[in-house]
Structures are given as C-alpha cells and as structure tokens.
Chains A and B, each alone.
Chain A
Amino acid sequence: AQKITQTQPGMFVQEKEAVTLDCTYDTSDQSYGLFWYKQPSSGEMIFLIYQGSYDEQNATEGRYSLNFQKARKSANLVISASQLGDSAMYFCAMRAFQIQGAQKLVFGQGTRLTINP
C-alpha cells in the first residue's frame, strides 16, 4: 500500500533562512504524482507544488522547490528565504491511484513549520 512519511513533527527556522521539509514515500507503482500543500492557522489547504514520477527536472514554483530523489523515494520541499508568513503545517501527498477520473491522495502526518523573526 502507498504510504507517505514526514518525520519532522515540528521545525523552527530563523526568518530569511532556507528550510527543507522531509518527505519519503512508498509505492510499487511506476507512475505517480507527489504534491505539497500548506495549511496556515486559518485552516485552508493551499497547493504549493507538484512533481510527476517521470519528470526529469525538479519542480520549482517561486520560492518553493521540490528535491526529488527517485531512487531514495524522497520528495523534500525546499523553501528559500523563509518569511514569517511561511509559518504553517505542510503536508506531503502522493497520488495513490486513479480510477475513472478520480484520484486518491494519500497524505503524510504533516510538519509544523515556525519561522522566527
């Protein structure tokens, strides 16, 4: 069964520093997708970045990049130049399967990131 593991329950980082949030996944599928979402204290789930299993380049979206290491089954999120507004829960997710147009996302436990001024 597909599984996502985020081993860092909480992280504290100084403002303007870069931060890496760890995510490892387990799947026997050759084709899969990996997602990162941000959940601020207000509660909404905000999509950040996507990486496909066949993508040769690491995904980037502004200050977010995904360090995809397929052999290690890891998909770490890197946030450059962290800002106070980056303080939130971060979830890594994997598309476990897709059937008739619907996809099942499996989520990790989340990492609570706190940016200190």
Chain B
Amino acid sequence: DTAVSQTPKYLVTQMGNDKSIKCEQNLGHDTMYWYKQDSKKFLKIMFSYNNKELIINETVPNRFSPKSPDKAHLNLHINSLELGDSAVYFCASSQPASGPGDTQYFGPGTRLTVL
C-alpha cells in the first residue's frame, strides 16, 4: 500500500548516458513534483505537474524532461548525464488545496550516481 513509489532506488551510470526515473502515486492526488537533493542535503524543487500539465519549471537544464502520462504517474528523463547530476531525486505528490490538505508526500528517493 505504498503511497508514492519510485523506481529504481539506485541508479549508477556513465557520463553521457540517458536514464529515466519513474514515479507513481496511489493517493489520488492531482499534483506531482520532482525535487533534487544535493550532496549537502539541500532540497530544491525542479518541476511540478497538476493533472498532467506542467506548472512549475525551476530553471532546470533542458536535458531534464518530465513526462506525466496520467495524473498518477510522473517520470523524469535525463539526457546526456553529467557528473553534477549525481544526487538523490525525490518524487512527491499533493492535493491542490491551500492548507494542511496540500501537504506534499514524498517517495523513497532515487540515488543517481554518474561516473
């Protein structure tokens, strides 16, 4: 009964490769997010989708392309991976309300290591 799930949990790849991370939520939420947590544990939002529509795009390189096939799924594709892309990527989801009901619930994270 996992609420927000991500695959894979670990991803090790060479520079220049293309990789994808998948996210699924079964909370019935309309809004999903991608966050990046760097080596210093700093968390920053990358993208947000509401009902399959891109709403927030936070100055992320074009090599990162999110895709939302339906409101329960949000995938992240990364082209031409660079060393600086090494981080933990978190997916999250929330209801589009204003108040305690819009708490974001996070997936377990995907640790990406680029060699």
Contact = CB atoms under 8 A, between A and B. Distances in A.
Interface of A: 31, 33, 35, 37, 39, 43-47, 50, 52, 89, 91, 93, 95, 98-105, 107, 109-110
B49 A43 contact: no
Interface of B: 30-31, 33, 40-45, 48-51, 53, 55-56, 58, 88, 90, 92, 94, 96, 98-100, 102-109, 111
B99 A107 contact: no
B91 to A, nearest CB: 10
Contacts of B42: 107, 109-110
Given A52-B100, A110-B41, A100 B50 contact: yes
Nearest to A98: B98
Most buried by A among B40, B48, B103: B103
Contacts, number: 78
Contact of A35 (B33, B103, B107): B103
Contacts of B90: 45
Given A89-B41, A100-B53, 5 more contacts: A44-B108, A45-B109, A98-B96, A101-B51, A104-B56
Contacts of B48: 102-104
The 4 closest A-B pairs by CB, nearest first: A101-B96, A45-B106, A102-B48, A102-B55
A33 to B, nearest CB: 7
A95 to B, nearest CB: 8
A36 B42 CA distance: 14
Nearest to B48: A102
Contacts of B99: 33, 52
B88 A43 contact: yes
A103 B94 contact: yes
A69 to B, nearest CB: 19
A89 B42 CA distance: 11
Contacts of B49: 102
16 contacts: A33-B100, A43-B108, A44-B107, A45-B43, A47-B104, A100-B50, A101-B55, A102-B31, A102-B33, A102-B49, A103-B31, A103-B94, A103-B102, A104-B45, A104-B48, A109-B41
